[in-house]
A and B are shown apart, each in its own frame.
Chain A
């Protein structure tokens, strides 16, 4: 709507007196303080979370010591036995031994496999969406990404265990196991296990990487692409030579954010992983456990331990998970910040 089509007010009417006074400069200070308090809240919440986590985990940190990072077993102990274990002044149930190694293994391996699988799929799909799909269809097809991003993780988990897992175990897994590659062979089971969980995690993080890639691909200056095509490059070569280098850092940053998401995913993994503790999976089809799924699965049992050491140890698991996720997030954000100024300085309309 342009200014010329709007009706002009009658020139002869006297100006109406202001109906109320606008807030003056004095009110500014109090409003500003309120807003400052609001701005501090995220930082305060973060500090509170970390403080509570460390405080709840502290007895376990002392009790478990370095053994936490070297032991294979994670067990609450025998709550019905007589006597307790005491280390360094802290008590736990008899036979309790808390070690995080298989959990870290499960978390890190499943998340890395998920990212490795998700990146090519996301980048390929995003490039297709941004470069080849006609604009009319882009809205509809782009909806897939938005839907996928919003589907609850519990739906992913149930789909994984009832539909996806059994389908894979009947087909793909049997073919892979038949090849007898070490660690890729063994009983394929009914679909619960590390590979299924990694695949479902991959599907979950695809939207994160794909939507960022799509935005980045769209923002590649048309002039570079047109120049490449004018020189006779095929469209795929243009993508390889012009687009990919332009979006590379952004894709890496988004992948790291996807990795952080996969590291912290709880419910889907809880449902599909099979919750196998105290040993390493022997093959990629075996059940396993992650740090997040163990916290969720064991909190109720941990609360029955009257010494409280189980709850403290779960908090210690959460602390390690927090640390790993934080590092991943920081890396991702620092990379994306570094990227955001790196585009070719081409002005609009040139």
Chain B
């Protein structure tokens, strides 16, 4: 009997150790990033650019990138998800969904590489906002499509039946009846897409370039600054100042991430209340 109890205790200690192995690196990373960022913290961070000691241009560039991804991947992804959930049937539905899932497995470096060869060089766009947004959107598109589809499938069928019974067109059904309850799920998918975009570097290295100036809204021919590049250049620039700026960029990225996670939590909490209201 005690042997089993000892094994029980050993098992749960092992699990606690495993959990610590997850928590400790996370804490270590967060602490070291924020600790190293301290020398560079200050209002100048937000108001100066990377040719001085600030990261204003990088912050604006990342926000611009997120907006672009939201519009492009969000628009196309939600539309695709709606189609797959509501309108596609039979073989071509499975076909489209299958390939969308394969796209999710593309290594980001491959997307960046092709983005460089085609958009930057062949199309002569140069390092640009358009090349960066398109590359990132292709990367996150499958996530948006999948979550939209799943969210729509969870909307109870009786709503579709009732809508058909009332003679409403498919467009109205989707837009007025199905999307509202599915919205929280769709929004959390968009948040995942934005979180991935905030932290990506490999595809942007070859499509966005970098710039010490604030980003222009020009789609092509203007290089785009962004936060993860500032973090990366810590390796090749001298001095404590560069180190602190890079850590500060890391801190801002993590703060953005925390904001996105918090918004996601709020949205899913609202979703739970909404679905509770749904069941009749």
Contact = CB atoms under 8 A, between A and B. Distances in A.
Interface of A: 1, 22-25, 27-28, 31-32, 34-36, 38-43, 45-46, 48-49, 52-53, 56, 120-125, 127-129, 132, 141, 143-148, 150-156, 158-159, 162-164, 203, 206, 210, 234-237, 239, 260, 263-267, 271, 292, 295-296, 299, 311, 314-315, 318, 321-322, 325-326, 328-330, 333
A159 B28 contact: yes
Contacts, number: 249
Contacts of A234: 4-5, 7-8
Given A235-B12, A314-B113, 20 more contacts: A25-B170, A38-B75, A43-B103, A53-B113, A128-B15, A128-B16, A132-B15, A146-B261, A147-B26, A152-B231, A154-B228, A154-B231, A159-B32, A234-B5, A236-B8, A264-B108, A267-B232, A315-B117, A318-B113, A329-B102
Most chain A CB within 10 A, of B14, B26, B200, is at B26
B8 A237 contact: yes
A330 B15 contact: no
What are the 7 A-B residue pairs with the smallest beta carbon separation, nearest first?
A264-B107, A124-B18, A329-B105, A152-B199, A38-B79, A236-B11, A35-B83
Nearest to A36: B83
Most chain B CB within 10 A, of A163, A236, A265, is at A236
A115 B256 CA distance: 29
Contacts of A34: 79
B113 A164 contact: no
A347 to B, nearest CB: 16
B178 interface: no
Contact of B250 (A38, A122, A155, A318): A155
Dominant SS at the A interface? helix
A206 B23 CA distance: 11
A266 B109 contact: yes
Given A46-B103, A144-B26, A267-B232, A150 B33 contact: no
Nearest to B36: A162
Contacts of B17: 124
Contacts of B277: 1
Interface in B98-136: 99-111, 113-114, 116-118
Interface stretch (B137-145, B154-162, B211-219): B137-145
A306 to B, nearest CB: 14
A35 B96 CA distance: 12
Contacts of A318: 107, 109-110, 113
Contacts of A144: 22-23, 26
A22 B172 contact: yes
B50 to A, nearest CB: 16
27 contacts: A28-B170, A28-B171, A32-B83, A36-B83, A38-B77, A38-B80, A39-B88, A39-B96, A42-B100, A42-B103, A52-B117, A121-B21, A125-B19, A128-B18, A141-B19, A144-B22, A147-B30, A158-B234, A158-B235, A163-B32, A203-B22, A234-B8, A236-B7, A236-B8, A264-B108, A266-B109, A299-B116
A39 B176 CA distance: 21
Interface of B: 4-5, 7-8, 11-12, 14-19, 21-23, 25-26, 28-30, 32-33, 75-77, 79-80, 82-84, 87-88, 95-96, 99-111, 113-114, 116-118, 138, 141-142, 145, 168-172, 176, 195, 198-202, 205-206, 228, 231-232, 234-235, 246, 250, 253-254, 257-258, 260-261, 277
Contacts of A38: 75-77, 79-80, 83
